[in-house]
Structure formats: C-alpha cells, structure tokens
C-alpha cells in the first residue's frame, strides 16, 4: 500500500490514546475513516472528519455492526485497525472471573469476531488490488508475559497467536495481517485498569511516535512489528 489516500479504514478504539493518534495520522494522509468509540461525545471530541459508530466490544454482534457502518459510509473496506483494549493488574490468585472474561473478550475474542466480519469486504478489496490489511496491537506482553499481569498477558498472547495463524490463511487471499507489539506506551490505559492497582511503570513510548511507526508499516507493506521495531 503505497498511499493511504482514498482507502476506507475502520479504526476500532479510536478514542483511546493510541487509536486517536493513529486516526489523526490516517486522516491527515487522506484515508476515508470510520471511527469506533464507546460514546458519541468522545468520538465527536476527536475533531476528525469521519463516519462514527459506537458499540460495546463485549457484545457478539458489535463486530458486524462496525463493519456494516464502514460499508454504509464508504461503500467498501480496505483496512481495519484494532486499537481497543483493556488491562488488569494483580496476583493471579486474586483475578476475578469477570475480569478474566472481560480481558479475553475485549483483547482476544473481539478482534477474532472483527476479522471474521470484515473478511468478505477485505477479500473484495484484495480482488480490486487495493492491498487490504488487518492490524492488531498485541503489545510486548505477548512476547514477554509479565508477573502480576498474567491474565492480561494471556489475552494478548492469544491475540498474537491468532494473528500469526490467521495471517498465514489470509496471505492466500491477498489480505495482510499486521501485528504490532510495542512496549509500554503512555496512552493512559495503565491508569484505568478494570481490576487492581497500577504498578510503578518505567516511562513509556510516546503514543504519537508509536502511531507513526504503525502507520509507516501499513504503508510499507510490513507484516510484523515486534517490540524491537519500536525505539525511543
């Protein structure tokens, strides 16, 4: 994909710290965007010209609704950026069932549902030689599972495994699966755990820098962004 101009791209989790930065860059480069968030107010506050759609990723039907919104707005879908996620902290023995369920659903199951829903449109985009892609952000914990973040690490490792296997399947269809695994990034997510208290963390990457690297990888046709691909 040598140019993003005119590409129809769905950004899931566009109101988050990293999703917002990615959406801004995509918009500046001429992409036709559909932005997902949990509330209309937060989406409007982005100030980005785009179709907007809300939805709860815990609900099975949301993935299909997001894809439908993109198709209704732009008539096609050429790329999906899944920047949504939740985090939890604390010892394994203290993690509740509700926390485990939420982590696995939002971080792993929802992207699987999203790809399944988007597949027909992405395959059509491939048939029209538009180099479609599906991007996930499994993060460094998928490479290095972290103590006191065991359930969170597991949810992201599941996503990374899905990316690797699904990417092999999609290659035959001309759809590129790109998984990015940056280290801790100052998105604010760590300050909003669904369980536990935020530990002392080292200074993280700038969301703007990580977003720029991710978008550059989309344009350059890269298929994998390990943690070593990100530098301060």
Closest CA to 7 of 121, 177, 119: 121
**Three-state DSSP class for 187?**
coil
The answer to whether 79 touches 8, Cβ cutoff 8 Å, is: yes
pLDDT at position 175 is: 98
pLDDT at position 1 is: 65
The answer to whether 81 touches 19, Cβ cutoff 8 Å, is: yes
Q: Taking CA 198 as the corner, what is the angle to CA 195 and CA 199, rounded to the nearest 5 degrees? A: 130
Q: In what order do the strands lie in the sheet with 32-37?
A: 51-54, 32-37, 8-12, 79-82, 133-137, 176-180, 224-225
Pairing of strands 8-12, 224-225: unpaired
Distance CA 23, CA 81 (A): 9
Q: In which region does residue 188 sit, left (phi positive, over 0), alpha (psi from -120 to 50) or beta (all else)?
A: left
Instruction: Report CA torsion sign: 4, 213, 211, 170.
Output: positive
CATH class of the domain defined by 8-78+101-139+153-229: alpha beta
- Residues of the chain falling short of pLDDT 50: none
pLDDT at position 201 is: 87
pLDDT at position 84 is: 98
């Amino acid at each position: 994909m040598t140019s993003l101009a005119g590409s129809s791209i769905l950004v899931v989790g566009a109101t988050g710290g990293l999703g917002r930065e990615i959406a801004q860059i995509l918009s500046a480069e001429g992409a036709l965007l559909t932005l997902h968030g949990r509330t209309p107010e937060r989406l409007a506050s982005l100030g980005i010209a785009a179709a907007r759609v809300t939805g709860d990723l815990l609900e099975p039907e949301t993935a299909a609704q997001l894809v439908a919104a993109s198709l209704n707005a732009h008539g096609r879908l050429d790329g999906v950026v899944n920047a949504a996620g939740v985090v939890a902290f604390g010892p394994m023995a203290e993690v509740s069932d509700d926390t485990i369920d939420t982590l696995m659903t939002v971080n792993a199951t929802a992207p699987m549902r999203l790809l399944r829903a988007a597949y027909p449109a992405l395959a059509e985009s491939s048939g029209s030689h538009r180099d479609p892609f599906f991007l996930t952000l499994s993060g460094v914990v998928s490479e290095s599972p972290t103590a006191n973040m065991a359930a969170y690490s597991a949810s992201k490792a599941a996503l990374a495994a899905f990316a690797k296997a699904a990417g092999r399947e999609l290659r035959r269809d001309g759809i590129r699966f790109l998984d990015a695994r940056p280290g801790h990034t100052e998105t604010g997510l760590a300050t909003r755990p669904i369980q536990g208290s935020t530990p002392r963390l080292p200074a993280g990457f700038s969301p703007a820098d990580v977003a720029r690297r991710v978008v550059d990888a989309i344009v350059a046709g890269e298929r994998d962004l390990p943690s070593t691909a990100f530098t301060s």
